[in-house]
A = this chain, B = another copy of it.
Amino acid sequence: MDLFTSLDGYVPSDPTPENPMGTGWSQLTAAWTATRTFRRNLGDSSGSGTTGMDDRYAAAFVDGIGAEIMGAGMFGFHAFPDDDSWTGWWGERPPFGTPVYVLTHRAPRPSIVMDGGTTFHFRDTTVEEVLAEARQAAGDLDVRIGGGYGTARDFLRAGLVDDLHLMVAPVFLGRGHRLWDELAGFDAGYKISTEVAESGQIHITLTR
């Protein structure tokens, strides 16, 4: 699982159709979206983008992932709750390239095949059940918990995350969801390592 947060531990809490990830999201992800790997995964073949530590993490982000799980908000249901033709705000070619299981109370709903290998499936199940299905789909590859905030916390609380990569942007947001509230003890059994990229982005890795 990969998470973005600010130095003060906030995640944007105010997504709108115009600003789908909420205030401050572009600040949290600035170093990430500047990488060559991220740009290439969005279809930029010019070779532009940073190539340092952030880029190595971005490459690892897509490496070995066979399925993804995300919440309804990260797919975009919260912005367009009543639009059945809405295919999410990730564009025609979402940067996943795998089956993506969207946890939503709007399921059942038909799956959507997108360009670039992404298929969105919609499920209204427990985190354990959707993880079992995603594992099956991923085969020998890993399942990534994509977020957002609520889904990530549900999986952390359930102890279902083997690898957590936390990216802390060198900014203070001052408001939003508090990522760490009421997660006391979630880190038991993890080893923690920290490093800082050329961009100033802090990369924190928790592994079992």
Contact = CB atoms under 8 A, between A and B. Distances in A.
A14 to B, nearest CB: 13
A138 interface: no
A175 to B, nearest CB: 5
B204 A170 contact: yes
B186 A194 contact: no
A64 to B, nearest CB: 25
Nearest to A8: B180
Nearest to A6: B180
Contact of A174 (B7, B179, B186): B186
A172 B192 CA distance: 10
A124 interface: no
What is the interface of chain A mostly: helix, strand, loop, or mixed?
loop
Contacts of A174: 180, 183-187
B202 A194 contact: yes
Contact of A187 (B172, B183, B186, B193): B172
Given A178-B178, A180-B172, A204 B8 contact: no
A101 to B, nearest CB: 27
A192 B6 CA distance: 12
Pick the 8 closest A-B CB pairs, nearest first: A174-B184, A8-B180, A172-B187, A9-B9, A170-B192, A196-B196, A194-B200, A170-B194
Given A8-B183, A170-B192, 18 more contacts: A7-B166, A7-B180, A7-B192, A8-B9, A8-B179, A9-B180, A170-B193, A170-B204, A171-B187, A172-B180, A172-B183, A174-B184, A174-B187, A175-B184, A192-B200, A194-B200, A195-B196, A196-B202
Interface of A: 7-10, 166, 170-172, 174-175, 178-180, 183-187, 192-196, 200-202, 204
